[in-house]
Amino acid sequence: MGQDTRPRLLIIDDEDALLVPASHYLRERGYAVVTAREPEEALALLDRQSFDLVILDLALTPFGREGLEILSWIRARHPAMPVIILSAEIPPEVEQEAERLGADAILGKPQPMSEVARLAASFLTR
């Protein structure tokens, strides 16, 4: 069997209400999608596998800053990997920190999946 050449996306979000439909929507559009619900799971996947793009929620637990830590980790190890932040209620200081850490795009929830897919495609064709 041949190697899968579809772009590989990692979606990191603790909400099944986003994770399940988003992964289904993106798979239907030709992406290989892997999901993670917890920061430790996300970092383990990023350490063991290669991805072409990450879609990241900033608040993965009630404490709410794990997404910035994951973004920082990604930038240190995979500086060219596009990261789309998709998060609800982003305070201005957190948005500024995400921009400083190198987020490629920051979108608020809810967001039409068509917009997320359009943005992902634009980063993957650069």
3-state secondary structure the chain: CCCCCCCEEEEECCCHHHHHHHHHHHHHCCCEEEEECCHHHHHHHHHHCCCCEEEECCCCCCCCCHHHHHHHHHHHHCCCCCEEEEECCCCHHHHHHHHHHCCCEEEECCCCHHHHHHHHHHHHCC
Q: pTM for the complete prediction?
A: 0.92
* pLDDT number for residue 94: 87
* Mean pLDDT of each 10-residue bin along the chain, 126 residues long: 82 90 95 94 94 91 77 94 90 90 92 92 89
Domain 8-124 fold is Rossmann fold (3.40.50)
Q: What residue spans define the domains of the chain?
A: 8-124
